Amino acid sequence: MEQDDVRRTIESAIAKRREDFALSYLSCAPDGYTLKFRQGIVDIVRTRIDDAVFADDARLGGLLDEVRRDLQRLTRAPAV
């Protein structure tokens, strides 16, 4: 899959799920993709993502679920 196709696939999945975060960076290397997601000032990076993830809705959904959970954990207001 071409890099532009991967970007469109991810951005489309994010939009369909109405997520609060966005894909802010994508690059391809021989060992897989590096993806950076942003919500406000917080970035989450995922590395070495296999090309097959983008062809499988369930695997892509799982990746986006993980990103959402991590962002929620990091952006949660600390208890006072």
User: What is the C-alpha end-to-end distance of the chain, expressed in Å?
Assistant: 47
Residue 78 has pLDDT above 90, yes or no: no
Q: Give residue 70's pLDDT band: very low, low, confident or very high (50, 70, 90).
A: very high
How far apart are alpha carbons 46 and 26 in whole angstroms?
10
Give the pLDDT confidence score for residue 77 in this predicted structure. Answer: 65
3-state secondary structure 29-74: ECCEEEEEEEECCEEEEEEEECHHHHHCHHHHHHHHHHHHHHHHHH
Q: What is the per-residue pLDDT across 4-63, written as a single tens digit (0 to 9) for each?
A: 999 999 999 999 999 999 999 999 999 999 999 999 999 999 999 999 999 999 999 999
Asked if pLDDT for residue 68 goes beyond 90, the answer is: yes
Q: What is the pLDDT of residue 75?
A: 86
